[in-house]
Amino acid sequence: MQKKSLLILMLVLFVKLAAIAGPRSFVQAQKIAENQASRLGIVIDSKARAKARAINGVDSHLKQVVDYYVFPNGADKGFTIVSGDDRMPEIVGYADSGTYDENQMTEGMAMFLDSYKAMAEAVKAGAPAALSLLNEHRAMTASPKRASAKVAPLLGQIQWNQGYPYNMMCPKYNGNDRSVTGCVATAMAQIMAFWKYPKKLMADIPAYTTRTNKINMPGISQGATYDWDNMLPRYVEGNYNNTQAEAVAKLMLHCGAAVEMDYGSSSGAVVNYYHLTKYFGYDVDLIANVFRANYSIAEWADLIDRELSAGRPILYGGFSSTSGHQFVCDGSNGSGLYHINWGWGGYQNGYFDITILNPKKGGAGSGNAPDGYNRNCDMIIGIQPDNGIVDEPLVFTPSLEINKYTSENLNTYFNITKDTRANESEAFSLSFGDALFSTTTNPFNGKFAYAINDGKGGYTLICNPRNLSIPTGEFVETNFNFAPKNGTYTIYGVYCKKGETTWHKCLYTNGMKPITLIATTDKLVKANSLLSATITPAGKIVGLKRPPSTWR
C-alpha cells in the first residue's frame, strides 16, 4: 500500500512539474548566452545583440516557441546555442571562434541540431521515452559522484576539410568533377595525423567499384609510406606547396579506399574498427565499436571521459534514415559539453551536448521513425598505435550483432503468429527474422537462440539453440512456441561461442531493439518494436554482406 501511495505521489509531482515548466523566453536565453560568453572572456557588443534578435525572429511580431536560440558573440568570436525549453539543459553548444550561419552549416552540426530539435519536440509533446531520457540526464549531472573530465582539444590546430587540396587524389565523376574526400575519411585522417601513425600501409587495400557512380578504384599495395612531416595542421590557400598537398591527399585517398568510399559530390562510406587495425596497424586489443543504444547516458559519458583523459580522440558518428555523419570528439569542457571537430576546416568547431541525444529505449512518442530523435550514434574508441603488448579490452564487445537489413527479398521482422490461448499453460507462437553479423573480422562459430532474463544476471532460453557458422553475416528465421506466465517479457537474441557455456546478449545496432511482450491469461501483445512484419519462408538462412551505409 505504501509503494502504491508513493507512486501516486510521484506521479502527481511529475505532472505539476511538467505543468510549471515551459518555454524559455528570448530574454532568459540571452542572459544565459551572455553569461557563457563572459566565462570565455568575450564581451557581447550591440551589433551581436541586434543580430541575435534577427536570427531568432524576436521582432517578427509573431509569438514563437522555439527549440533553441542562437546568439552570436560578435565577428569571428563564436556563438552560443541555448535551449528553448527550461526543462532541457541550458547550453546546447558553443564556440569561441568563427560564426554561425544557418545557410553555411557543416553537415555534422546540421544533423546534431536536427536531432536536438526532434528531441526537444518530443519533450514538449510529453513523449514518455523523451521525458525518461531527460530525467536520466538530470540525474547524471546532479550526481555527486559525476566528475566530467576537462580535456583541451586533442587535435589542437588540426583542422582538415573535404575539398582541395585534401581531395586532389580522389577520383573524378561525371567526367571532370572531383569527388570530395567524405566525412569518414576526413575524420579518420585527422585522428591518424594526431598520432602520426602508421609509417606505412599495413595491408593491401583491394580494388573495388563504387556503388553510385560505378567508379573503378584500383587496389593500393601494402608498404606505401606516409609523409607525416609534410602534413600541415591547416591548409590555407597560398601557404602550402605541392609536396605538402600531396602528403595529405595520399592519406585521404588511402582512408577512403580502405572503407570502400562511395565517391561523388557527397562521398559516403561506413567505417568499422577493423579498417583501422587491418590497414593502418592500430591496437587491436584496445579498439572497439560501441553503440549508444547499449549504454545509459552516464555510462556513455563515462566512456567518452575515459577516452579523452587517456589522450585518445574518438571517431564519433550518428545517422538517420537518409544520411550519416562522422566527426571527431577530442575534448571536454568539464561541464558535460564535448569538443567536436566537424571536419570542415575548423568551421563551427566547438563544445556540444552530445549525450542528450539518442535514448536507450524507444516507446510511444519516442520518435521510432528513423528521422526521430532516436538517432543511431556510435563511437570507435581505443584508437592508438599498437603498443606491442597484449592489453585488456576497454569494453566487452559481443561477438554477434543483430543489425537491421532491408532488401527486395529479405527484411528483418518479428511477428506473433498465434496471439491467443485458452489458459496460462498454453503456448503462443512467435516468428523472428534477424540479420546476424560477426562483430570481428573473424567468422562467428557457435550457437544462437532467443532468451529472457533469468533474474540472476543470466538468460533462460525460450527456444532450441541453433548451431551457426557465420563468415560475415546471415539472415536467420526462427519459429517457436512460447508459454509464459502473465507478465511483461523482453526477448533477447543471445549467443554462445563454440567451446564455451556462457550465453551473452547480442549487440543490437542500426536501430534494432530487443522485443518486449505483454502476456495475459488469453492474449499476447507486442509492447514496442522497431521491426517490420514481413515474413519470409520458414527456416530460411541466407548469407549476407553488411548492409550499405550512407555516412557522408
Check which CATH number belongs to the domain holding 247 and give it.
3.30.910.30
Q: How many domains does the chain have?
A: 2
Secondary structure element (H or E) that encloses residue 352, with its range: strand 350-352
Question: Do strands 504-505 and 487-497 pair parallel, antiparallel, or not at all (unpaired)?
Answer: antiparallel
CA distance 435 to 401: 8
Per DSSP, the three-state class of 263 is coil
The pLDDT of residue 297: 86
Q: Which parts of 143-176 fold into alpha helices (H)?
A: none
Rg (CA), the chain: 25
Check which CATH number belongs to the domain holding 539 and give it.
2.60.40
Q: Which amino acid is at 511?
A: G
Q: Is residue 214 part of a domain?
A: yes
Q: Which amino acid is at 266?
A: S
CA distance 257 to 251: 10
Do residues 155 and 106 touch, judged by C-beta distance below 8 A? no
Q: Is residue 465 part of a domain?
A: yes
402: closest CA among 392, 394, 414, 390? 414
| Terminal-residue alpha carbon distance, the chain | 55
Q: Which amino acid is at 206?
A: P
Q: Is residue 454 part of a domain?
A: yes
Do residues 354 and 342 touch, judged by C-beta distance below 8 A? no
Residue range of the domain that includes 473: 400-544
457 CB burial (10 A radius; 0-12, 13-18, 19+): exposed
CA distance 121 to 131: 11
Picking from 224, 246, 275, the residue at the C-terminal end of a domain is: 275
Q: Which amino acid is at 114?
A: D
Picking from 243, 258, 275, the residue at the C-terminal end of a domain is: 275
203 CB burial (10 A radius; 0-12, 13-18, 19+): middle
The pLDDT of residue 59: 65
The pLDDT of residue 60: 53
448: closest CA among 438, 335, 456, 457? 438
The pLDDT of residue 365: 26
Active site residue ranges = 183, 325
- For residue 111, count other CB atoms closer than 10 A to its CB: 23
Give the chain's largest Cα–Cα span: 80
Q: Is residue 300 part of a domain?
A: no
Per DSSP, the three-state class of 13 is helix
Picking from 234, 260, 275, the residue at the C-terminal end of a domain is: 275
Secondary structure element (H or E) that encloses residue 416, with its range: strand 413-418
Sign of CA dihedral 490, 496, 497, 500: positive
CA distance 321 to 217: 27
Backbone φ and ψ for 139, nearest 5 degrees, come out as: -60, -40
Q: Is residue 185 part of a domain?
A: yes
Per residue of the chain (552 residues), give pLDDT as tens.
444 444 444 444 444 444 346 789 999 999 999 999 999 999 888 888 888 888 888 765 555 678 999 999 988 899 999 999 999 999 999 999 888 888 888 888 888 888 888 888 888 888 877 888 888 888 888 877 776 789 999 999 999 999 999 999 999 999 899 999 999 999 999 999 999 999 999 999 999 999 999 999 999 999 999 999 999 999 999 999 999 999 999 999 999 999 999 999 988 888 888 899 999 999 999 999 888 877 888 889 999 999 999 999 999 987 654 567 899 999 999 999 999 999 999 999 999 998 876 543 332 222 333 333 345 688 999 999 999 898 888 888 889 999 888 776 778 899 999 999 999 999 999 999 999 998 877 899 999 999 999 888 899 999 999 999 998 889 999 999 999 999 999 999 999 999 999 999 998 887 788 999 999 999 999 985 332 222 223 344 444 554 443 344
Do residues 419 and 428 touch, judged by C-beta distance below 8 A? yes
Q: Is residue 510 part of a domain?
A: yes
**Whole-prediction pTM value?**
0.77
List residues bridging with 453 in a β-sheet. Answer: 459
Do residues 224 and 200 touch, judged by C-beta distance below 8 A? yes
Which 8-state DSSP code applies to residue 356? T
